[in-house]
Amino acid sequence: TQSTRPQRILGAVQKNATRGDPRSVVRAIDQYCRNQEWAMNVGDEKGCILDSVVSEVNPATVLELGTYCGYSTVRIASLLPPHAKLITLEFNPEFAVIARQVIAWAGLEDKIQLVEGASGDLIPKMKEQFGVETFDLVFLDHWKDRYLPDTKLMEECGLLRKGSVLLADNVICPGTPEYLEFVRSSPRYESQYFKSHLEYTKVEDGMEKSVFLG
Ligand SMILES: Cc1ncnc2c1ncn2[C@@H]1O[C@H](/C=C/CNC(=O)c2cc(-c3ccc(F)cc3)cc(O)c2O)[C@@H](O)[C@H]1O
Ligand SMILES: [Mg+2]
């Protein structure tokens, strides 16, 4: 039977990356997706912007919306301080199965909690079910039309504090026009655009970093 793209990405990790070495997992996925078949990971170029924001924020609590195969999950978690926690939400069970194995190969199970379900359903349960107060950093990389509703939902649920940082992938390609308009015009956010390229291509894309002002 035919394998799926996520299964082939996992195969590339198991073949080319060293168990317990998160950066080798990141490198193996980037090499596979650049040389064999494209996939919607944030990738190596935008990944460097992600790394710099994670290092600057040095978050104790991170929320990722949209796990896919776990590339950015592993990339972020590899930079977190010892007791920091990353919660990642994924509603496709097939992708979740692959991501759990990628996370395990990287040896980051203790830092990462992958929760299966839709962000709109899970965000309201964050405090009671996962013991989260607020998130220091949120990485948005799921369905592009969910960025804005989920941001409003996080505000309503008191999951953002003064200084919480939202980092959004794909604000140009595929694009998130409503979200971009909101965070750039709202007095409650201080936004900054990081120009880059769509993963593994020369197409323009970028990430928007928005600090919640409370
Ligand atoms: C509400 C909800 N709750 C939970 N999980 C959710 C969820 N909504 C989606 N998910 C999950 O997250 C991932 C989906 C990511 C969507 N990302 C993109 O569509 C994407 C597309 C491109 C792209 C660019 C140019 C092209 F020509 C083609 C594709 C690049 C990207 O970087 C993308 O991120 C996927 O794993 C999905 O199951
Ligand atoms: Mg993306």
Active site residues: 141, 144, 169-170, 199
How many angstroms does the Cα of residue 14 sit away from the middle of ligand 2?
23
**Site to substitute for ligand 1 among 10, 67, 143, most atoms within 8 A of C-beta:** 143
**Residue closest by Cα to atom 31 of ligand 1:** 40
Separation between Cα atoms, residue 209 and residue 134, nearest integer Å: 18
Residue that is written with structure tokens 């909690």 in the block: 113
Band of residue 5 on the pLDDT scale cut at 50, 70, 90: very high
The two three-digit tokens of residue 114, written as one number: 């992958």
Q: Let me know the angle formed at the C-alpha of 95 by 100 and 14, rounded to the nearest 5 degrees.
A: 50
Query: How high is the ipTM of this complex?
Result: 0.99
Separation between Cα atoms, residue 109 and residue 197, nearest integer Å: 30
How many angstroms does the Cα of residue 120 sit away from the middle of ligand 2?
18
**Residue closest by Cα to atom 17 of ligand 1:** 142
Residue 125 DSSP one-character state: G
Q: What are phi and psi of 56, to 5 degrees?
A: -70, -45
Q: What is the pLDDT of residues 54-100, one digit of tens each?
A: 999 999 999 999 999 999 999 999 999 999 999 999 999 999 999 99
Residues, the chain: 214
How many angstroms does the Cα of residue 143 sit away from the middle of ligand 1?
5
Q: What is the pLDDT of residues 113-148, one digit of tens each?
A: 999 999 999 999 999 999 999 999 999 999 999 999
**Helix (H) or strand (E) segment spanning residue 12:** helix 5-16
